[in-house]
Amino acid sequence: MIPMISPEVQRIALLVALGLTGYLMILAWNEDYMQSQPTAERAIAPELEGGALSGSAPAVDPASDIPDASFIGTPDPTADPAAAPVGNASAADRLIRVVTPSQEVWIDRRGGDIRRVHLPRYPVNLDQPDLPFELLDVGNGRLYMAQSGLIGPDGLDSGTERPLYRAVRTQYEVGDGETLAVELEAEAGDVKVSKTFVFQGGDYLVDMIYRVENRGTAPFQASLFGQIKRDAKEPPGQETFSLGPQPYLGAALTTTDSRYEKIDFEDLDEGDFRGQVEGGWIAFLQHYFLSAWIANEGEANSYYGRKRADGTYIVGYTGPLATVAPGGEGEWRSRFYAGPKDQKRLEQIADNLNLTVDYGFLWWLAVPLFALLDWLHGLVGNWGVAIILLTVLVKLVLYPLSSASYKSMANMRRVAPQMKRLQERYADDRQKLSQEMMGLYKKEGVNPLGGCLPMLLPMPIFIALYWVLFESVELRQAPFMLWIDDLAAMDPFFILPLLMGATMYVQQLLSPTMGDPMQARIMKLMPIMFTVLFLFFPAGLVLYWLVNSALSVAQQWYVMKKAEAAATPARS
C-alpha cells in the first residue's frame, strides 16, 4: 500500500519543482541570449577608404571632414594653402603598425590618421584571452578613428586633400619603459613638415608633434587640429541586455562653465557645438574606455562637435593660428589618449579628465568609496574580498543608527498582538482604528516609522557602489573565487542573487508584520522582486548586498533579542 502524502508536503514539493524549473530556464535563456560574444575573426588591417578622405576622390562631402578656416578665425581665409603632397600609395604601403605592451596602433600615412587601436592588456572576454579589446577601428562594420593635421592659410590638410607622408618603416615595436618616435615626413613647396608620434611603452598616452621648416620667402601660417570621428554604434561585445542603468556612449569635454560636460549623439543631431576653452580636452566615452585629444595648457582653443553628411559624428578642437617666419622653424603639439578609464592616470594627464569615470549624481559618495575599496584591495589583493571588507566597514559606521531602528522594530513586534486585537475590534471603522493605533503607539513608546531606517540607510551607498563597480575598469574581469571570475559581470549561475534573496527572506521573518494587509503582502514579495532584479546585476554588487543582508540579519536578531529581554521585566 502506497502511503498518502499530505497536501502540505505536495505543495512544498510542487513549489520546489517550479523553482528548480524556473532556475534552469533562466540559465538556458542566459546562455542563449545574454552572453553576447564578439566575432573572433577580424580584418588583418583597417580599411583605408572608409571614414576618411583618401585624396582626390572623397566619397562624402569633403567640407564635413576637415575643419575649415572658420574654426580658427584665420586672418585671410581666402589665401591659397600650400599644395599638399598627394601622391599614390598601395594599401599595404600606407599603413604603419606600432606594437607596445599596452597598445597596437595602425597609422595611415595619408594624413597621419590613427585608424585602429587594440588594447592587448584588456582581452575582449575571458573565453578569448588572446583577442585584445578593439577600441578604434575603421572596417569590420565600424568607423571610429582619430585625425589630426595642420589647417589654415598654409596648412597641408584641407577638405579636399590630405598629405601623403613618407616613413622609414611600416612596423615598429617598443617594450615596457622604452620610448619610441615614429616620424612621418612630407614636403609642400618650400615647406618641410614632419609629423611625429611618440609612444611610451606601457602607457596609453601618445605625444603628437608637428615640426615645420620654412625654406621659403613668405611666412607659413597654420593651426593644429585634433578630432575623433565615430559612428553611433554600440562597441563590439557590449550589445547586451541589462535591467540596470546603461553606460554612457558619447562625447564629453571640460569647459569654462563646467568641469565635465556631455555631448551625446542626440545633441549633435540637433545642431553643431562650438566652444572656446583655454587648454582643455575632448573625448569619446564608452563603457570602461575612452579616446581623447588633450590640448596644450595656456592656449586658447576652439572646440567643436558636428554630425557629418554620412551620419557619422566628429568632435575635436583647433589650436591658435601660429606663424613660422621665412627661414625659421615652428612646432605644434598635442596629445592623444586611447585606453582604459584609469582615473589615477587620467588625473595626471589633464585637469578633470578623471571625471570621465562618471559615477553619477552620487559621485561625492562614490569617489571615497572607490578610494577605500582600492586601498582594501591593495591590502588583500582580491577585489571580492575587498568588497566584503568594505561592507563590514559600512555596517560598523551605520551600526548605531541601525541598532536604534531594530529596537523600534522589536517594540513593534512586542505590541503586534495588541495591534491585531484592535484590527479585529475596529475592522469596520478605519478612522477609529487609526486613532486607537496611534494611542497604542504613544502608550508603549513605539515609533512605527523607526523600522524603515535599516532599509533606507544603505540605499545611497548601494547606488554609489553600483556606479563604482559599473564604471571602474579595475574591476573589469576581476575574479573573486570559485565560479565568480568577473565581478563586473552577473553571476553566471545566479547563486549569489538566490542566496541574497534567502537572507532577505530571513530578515523579513525577523521583522514585525505591517498593520496594513496590503503592505504586508507587498513586503512578502520584496525578496522575490529583489532576487529577480539582482539576477542581472554585477556579481560584485550582489556580493555587497548579500554580505550586507547577512550582517543585517545577525545584527537585527541580536538587537531585537536584547531589546525584548530588556522589555520583559518591565511588562512583568
399, 400, 405, 406 alpha-carbon torsion, rounded to 10°: 60
Among 144-158, 195-209, 418-432, 554-568, top mean pLDDT goes to 195-209
Question: Is a pLDDT exceeding 60 seen at residue 249?
Answer: yes
- The per-residue pLDDT for range 338-365, each reduced to its tens digit, is 999 999 999 999 999 999 998 888 888 9
pLDDT surpassing 80 at residue 502? yes
Q: Determine the Cα–Cα distance for residues 11 and 5; give it in Å rounded to an integer.
A: 10
HSE (side-chain half, CA atoms, 13 Å) at 511: 24
pLDDT for 1: 47
Whole-number Cα distances in Å, 84 to 81, 147, 515, 572:
8, 16, 82, 99
pLDDT of residue 43: 61
Q: What is the b/e burial string over 244-260, where b = at least 16 CB atoms within 10 angstroms of the residue's CB? A: eeebbbbbbbbeeeeee
The answer to whether residues 293 and 281 touch, using CB atoms and an 8 Å cutoff, is yes
Does the pLDDT of residue 205 top 80, yes or no?
yes
Res 44 pLDDT > 80: no
DSSP one-letter code for 71: G
- The CATH 2.70.98.90 domain(s) of the chain lie at 93-234+247-358
C-alpha 556/C-alpha 1 separation (Å) is 48
Q: Output the nine-digit C-alpha cell for 441.
A: 503607539
Contacts (Cβ under 8 Å, ≥6 apart) of 320: 72, 223, 299, 300, 301
Q: Which of 78-87, 92-101, 262-271, 314-323 has the lowest mean pLDDT?
A: 78-87
The whole-chain average pLDDT of the chain stands at 79
pLDDT at 57: 31
**How large is the average pLDDT for residues 197-224?**
94
Give the span between the Cα atoms of 449 and 487, in whole angstroms: 35
Q: What is the DSSP string of 393-442?
A: HHHHHHHHHHHHHHHHHHHHHHTHHHHHHHHHHTTT-HHHHHHHHHHHHH
pTM of the model: 0.80
Top mean pLDDT of 60-69, 88-97, 404-413 is at 88-97
| Among 357, 370, 318, 269, residue whose Cα is nearest residue 152 | 318
C-alpha grid cell for residue 111?
594624413
> What CATH number belongs to 93-234+247-358?
2.70.98.90
The pLDDT, as a whole number, for residue 81 is 45
**Least confident interval from 53-67, 113-127, 139-153, 329-343:** 53-67
Contact between residue 310 and residue 60 where contact means Cβ atoms under 8 Å apart: yes
Query: What distance lies between CA 322 and its chain's CA centroid?
Result: 37
Report the percentage of the chain scoring pLDDT > 90.
40
CA 400 – CA 453 distance, rounded (Å): 11
β-bridge partners, 323? 221
Provide the pLDDT for residue 33: 43
At position 214, the amino acid (one-letter code) is N
Q: Does the pLDDT of residue 331 top 50, yes or no?
A: yes
| pLDDT tens digits along 460-493 | 887 888 888 888 899 888 888 888 888 888 888 8
